[in-house]
Amino acid sequence: MKLSKEKTKILVTGAGGFIGGHLVNYLLKRGYKNIRAIDIKPLKEWQQVNKKAENLVLDLRNLNNCHKVSKNINEIYNLASDMGGMGFIESNKALCMLNVLINTNMLLAAKKAKVDRYFFSSSACIYPLGKQQSSEIDGLTENDAYPANPEDGYGWEKLFSERMCRHFMEDFGLETRVARFHNVYGPFSEYQGGREKAPAALIRKTIEAKIFGNHQIEIWGDGKQSRTFMYIDDCVKGIDLIMHSAIKEPINLGTNQLVTINQLVSLIEKIAGVTLKRKYKLDAPKGVRGRSSDNTLIKKYLNWEPSIPLEEGLKINYEWIEKKMTEKC
């Protein structure tokens, strides 16, 4: 029998992070009352803390901790991961691979606790490098994942963890759901310190250029690499829809609004009301040449896809980062 939102007990791992914090708030607004939020970071370092949730600081690389937090839980959203933008991923491959401990332990704990559903946050980094060599790329379909050749470190860990979810469902009857995130951005994301992703990093650099009157911006690569970017509100709604759907295979969760990094900078310049001289750092980490989400499958299953325009989401993100940076000045 399906439980009501008031009675459903939810666990969100990685709740002190960007997406996890937004997901906790989203679920509470949707009417869920019993949410346990977990992160390894001290509470004061969480991106968001919602006092209506049970907030715990624990290391989920420890199996006993996973069993402890999964007891009497109905649904698990596993978003815990030691990761960041391309600069972090390319420089910390071993740390990214060690994330496999979290998902392995959480799957074992979910199985023992007999949870109803288990969500795993995968990534578009699982897609083969050879299919992402052009800026004018067609959308990557879910079937493109194999034969496998994902990004080293982070991509391999995510792909392996996807298979773990599949086999726990096949062998043990644990209902798992997997979404492949495509470049999520929005307020409360990291925008400095080395873990930030492209939108937040470029917004920060633009604001710095305005503050200090140095009207130039450093761009990693030649600016012609292309991506799609999904606003956080679309992401958390998609997680909810996928979790409570009949979709048993990994599925893309991203927009299909493809832009180059140069075009992304131009959009940010328009919001900021500035024009910046572009300096290209060609030896910097830049990832694949092009990556886009094919949304055929998610539209087929859900009659929905992420659709918040990049221009709209960037404006909100810009205003949030500008406020945070101004407060520090």
163 pLDDT tier (thresholds 50, 70, 90): very high
Determine the pLDDT at residue 286: 85
Determine the pLDDT at residue 329: 62
List the domain boundaries for the chain: 9-185+230-256+298-302, 198-227+259-291+309-328
The one catalytic residue among 32, 118, 154, 191: 154
If you classify domain 9-185+230-256+298-302 with CATH, what class do you get? alpha beta
Query: DSSP of 197-266, one letter per residue?
Result: -HHHHHHHHHHHHHHHT--EEEEES-S--EE--EEHHHHHHHHHHHHTSS--S-EEES----EEHHHHHH
* Predicted model pTM: 0.96
72 pLDDT tier (thresholds 50, 70, 90): very high
- Tell me the percentage of the chain whose pLDDT exceeds 70: 99
Average confidence score pLDDT of the chain: 96
- Tell me the percentage of the chain whose pLDDT exceeds 90: 90
**With respect to CATH, is domain 198-227+259-291+309-328 assigned 3.40.50.300?**
no
Determine the pLDDT at residue 89: 86
pLDDT in tens, 27-37: 999 999 999 99
88 pLDDT tier (thresholds 50, 70, 90): confident
Whether the Cβ atoms of residue 228 and residue 292 lie closer than 8 Å to each other: yes
The encoded tokens of residue 60 equal 């989920």
Question: Alpha helices of the chain — where are they, by DSSP H?
Answer: 18-29, 63-70, 86-91, 93-97, 100-113, 154-172, 198-212, 232-243, 261-272, 296-302, 310-328
Q: Across residues 48-54, what is the average pLDDT?
A: 98
Catalytic-residue membership of 26: no
CA distance 20 to 16: 6
Judged by DSSP in three states, 96 sits in: helix
Determine the pLDDT at residue 91: 87
Q: Across residues 171-194, what is the average pLDDT?
A: 96
Whether 15 has a pLDDT exceeding 90, the answer reads yes
Determine the pLDDT at residue 1: 62
Q: How large is the angle between the packed helices 261-272 and 310-328, nearest 10 degrees?
A: 60
pLDDT in tens, 90-146: 889 999 999 999 999 999 999 999 999 999 999 999 999 999 999 998 899 999 999
DSSP, res 283: T
pLDDT in tens, 275-306: 999 999 999 988 899 999 999 999 999 999 99
